[in-house]
Structure 1
């Protein structure tokens, strides 16, 4: 297989896309599906690799948006699901499988004393916000500018902001994410600039009487996969405690940062945590966890719960057994190995940049990394927002990697999996160095 052959979509992907356009608006069922110029359809996954509909093999750096921390076809998950299938896939009654996964998560994540399962990360954030509203009696939320928290109206306010819409540095604007959203949604969302400690204190305090919660992602992907400044975290936690506002740590993506999750890694003690992705072993899942005191709003044993959360497929046995198998395999040693691979790769990418005196910088932590076409790390969403030239450079990186048999998201955010080894790390670093050699110097 040559680089040139990988660069082109084969006839099968093109045929499938032609069929899909007749039945799906725009030809896909997810806005996140990349098309360059049309989508690449996948036939199967195998460990760290994907095979497309035309038989071409790629190293997968997306892992379904960080979900597949063990890569594709992880045998413990496949075996556990295969054993279960003949017993039934979903019931209106509970099963022991949901208790098994819940016990593992409660035992592992310090801030979680009790938990509820839903079907997606979006639902997890939505019900966490509802829980905070029910607990505090307040409607509003605060969130970090540009951070992605799923598709709940309030959680996605300001998502995809641009220089034309995001407002002043001192007063970022919460712009509804799509046309037709009630204007009242934006009025109930306070936007905080990432790593602006004093601004966070001021804006939270000014709106404290109406704020139920603060959505906090310790390393937001859409803000550049850069770490939270400890002073910024402290400002949020202290101001929230002072005013009786709950802190929700969104770890749907970043739970993969360590054995006990991102909150524990960064010393955050939230009231609620949202999880998803890796805890489902490749099947749909979401979870809301926290202290017994706050989680009591879901308790309907003595009458109608303050938040009567339900869902036809919530805690379905397939997701529960797959998630348990996946999480059991994520031992402290497994996380240490992922961390070592991530550190080695980020170091290798940075060394290549230094050797070629190129205008790039690398961010990320644990098993996550991102390539930025700029000389210094961005400090917030506004700095991470790519110019036209930067966006074109990101696409060029993604295309170069694809032509070399590696699928890298067009935003150049990527995740590693336990299915990878030294050979894959070396390949990623080598391809990036060859990109720097063959591409014109970028002038940010």
Structure 2
């Protein structure tokens, strides 16, 4: 059955396949992003229409990726299109500030309790990189504590431990500090302590050892790539108590998870951070990142009295196009919009879980708000290692994503799926029905 799906899929992708052959002449692996899914070759998109993608061959797919959770209103959201069209006629970027950055900053500061001051950059990777620099400058310490498997972008210190595997991940309570790429200086790993998520004992033991030299605890409160795992309240409480006791800053990485609620993920899960990193949804589909936090800590970026403790520039930082797109997006994401999106999230998670229970198949579902992730295992994972997929489980998920594609749904494989405000109740029902159909055919 699956072989026939693959064959039919290849026939329906003639133009995408031709584009990929051409792309391989110019890019090392045919694309410009390692995150592009390429099972049977990548699907080349020609346009987005609300909740859907249209590929080069004219096929239409319900988009559960939304450019890695960025497009909270789906594709070509009219207020963003209108705002950008207006703004771009006046110029795309300047060496000078514009009022547009003040408007977006004001919205975020007013909305998110932990943000008193903010700086804009161009990506989530930059936001985390500068947050770590800010924590080091403010505390005078260098070590970073982070949690195994969580994704924090491509900065050297941020990516240590994010791709650990059974071949190198070391002891459960003190995972190995494995650099994110071959050739990284050993000294990078020396300044990163990797810990298991949701393990209070491991956290207390490690902070007792490295707390005196630790600048920050870097945490994604519901790490997407590590399994979209719910944080346990006692774990969050332990982080805050230990950080205060050892004068460590808490950096909440909400580049992805800001979409968990009107005030973000920290507020939802009871975490009080010193710094928050944001991105994705706050740019309305354009490149963006942001570092926000208390005015005391954010003062490290100030050049008001001479050279700042942390110089931060960026040719395209706070460019007016990203600013107006982000403002239009976030203004439309009022409390009612978040509530509606969460209702859809509750519906899809319940529907998937009901299908699993009915079939008895070895699957489970994690997630909250507008996010969900399907795991090819029966028990809910608490840690990255429990969510880590074997080769057999990866093949199961590959079959599921193929089945979804064949029924007009683009489901990320081994990553978090997300909903957009452009989706309808019928779209949610379609996702549930296609998953139920997969289970009935497979189990």
* TM-score where L is the length of structure 1: 0.97
Confirm or deny that 1:51 pairs with 2:58: no
- Summarize the Cα distance change of 1:34–1:9 in structure 2 as closer, same or farther, 3 Å threshold: farther
Task: Specify the SS of the correspondent of 1:30.
Answer: coil
Map Cα deviations across residues 96-138 of structure 1 (whole Å, 9 max, x no partner): 0000000000000000000000000000000000000000011
Query: How many angstroms apart in 1 are the aligned matches of 2:162 and 2:228?
Result: 16
SS in 2 for 1:186: helix
Following superposition of structure 1 onto structure 2, how do residues 122-161 of structure 1 map, counting pairs within 5 Å? Answer: 122-161=125-164
Q: Identify if the C-alpha distance between structure 1 residues 35 and 9 changes in structure 2 by more than 3 Å, giving closer, same or farther.
A: farther
Contact 1:397 1:412 in 2 (8 A): no
Q: Which residue of 2 aligns with 1:13?
A: 16
Query: Are residues 1:31 and 2:34 paired?
Result: yes
Aligned pairs for 1:394-433 (under 5 A) are 394-411=397-414, 413-433=416-436
CA-to-partner distance for each residue in 1:330-383, whole Å, 9 max, x for gaps? 010000000100001100111111111111111100000011111110110111
Judge conservation of contact 2:15–2:56 (CA < 8 Å) in 1.
yes
Alignment match, 1:186: 189
For the pair 1:61 / 2:64, whether they are aligned, the reply is yes
Secondary structure at 2:29's aligned position in 1?
helix
Work out whether residues 81 and 321 of structure 1, in 8 Å CA contact, stay in contact via their aligned partners in 2: yes
How far is the alpha carbon of 1:18 from its aligned partner? 1.1
Tell me, yes or no, if structure 1 residue 214 matches structure 2 residue 217: yes
Contact 1:160 1:177 in 2 (8 A): yes
**1:35-434, aligned counterparts within 5 Å?**
35-411=38-414, 413-434=416-437
**Does 2:441 correspond to 1:438?**
yes
Q: Is the 8 A contact 2:225 2:415 kept in 1?
A: no
Closer, same or farther: CA 9–197 of 1 in aligned 2, 3 Å: farther
Per-residue CA deviation, residues 68-116 of structure 1 (Å, 9 max, x unaligned), is 0000010000000001111000000000000000000000000000000
What is the CA–CA distance in structure 1 between the aligned matches of 2:206 and 2:223, rounded to whole Å?
Answer: 20
Aligned length: 439
Q: 1:268 to 1:412 in 2, by over 3 A?
A: closer
Contact preservation (8 Å) 1:48, 1:72: yes
Three-state SS of the structure 1 residue aligned to 2:25 is: helix
Q: Partners in 1 of 2:372 and 2:100 — Cα distance?
A: 34
8 Å Cα contact 1:174/1:190 also seen in 2: yes
Residue ranges of structure 1 left out of the alignment (5+ in a row) = none
**In terms of mean alpha carbon deviation, does 161-170 or 267-276 score higher?**
161-170
| TM-score (norm: length of structure 2) | 0.98
Aligned 8 A contact 2:225 2:416 in 1: no
Distance 2:279 2:345 in 1: 21
Q: Is the 8 A contact 1:394 1:412 kept in 2?
A: no
